[in-house]
Amino acid sequence: MVDPKSQDYYWTPEWQAGEREALAEIAAGQTKEFENARDAIRWLLRAKDERSHPPSNARRTDQ
């Protein structure tokens, strides 16, 4: 049996905002499907790498 107190995080305003954002993205069709978990992991790692190493011609917006 799950202790209900261990699920308190789910009801925080921050978590609920994330839930609403995710539902809106799903409703808008902003999802990605994969044939298998390996393909999903490869996509995630590639996306992470692209975020941490932008192309050399990328313009920085924090300056």
Residue 17 lies in a domain: no
Residue 33 lies in a domain: yes
List the domain range (segments joined by +) for residue 35: 25-53
The three-state secondary structure class of 44 is helix
pLDDT band at 53 (very low <50, low <70, confident <90, very high): low
Per residue in 19-50, pLDDT (tens digit) is 999 999 999 999 999 999 999 999 999 987 77
How many separate domains does the chain show? Answer: 1
Q: How far apart are CA 22 and CA 28, in angstroms?
A: 10
The pTM of this model reads: 0.56
Residue 63 lies in a domain: no
Report whether 18 contacts 24 (CB < 8 A).
no
Residue 3 lies in a domain: no
∠54-25-41 over CA atoms, to 5°? Answer: 50
Q: How far apart are CA 3 and CA 15, in angstroms?
A: 18
Give the sign of the dihedral formed by CA 26, CA 29, CA 31, CA 36.
positive
Residue 43 lies in a domain: yes
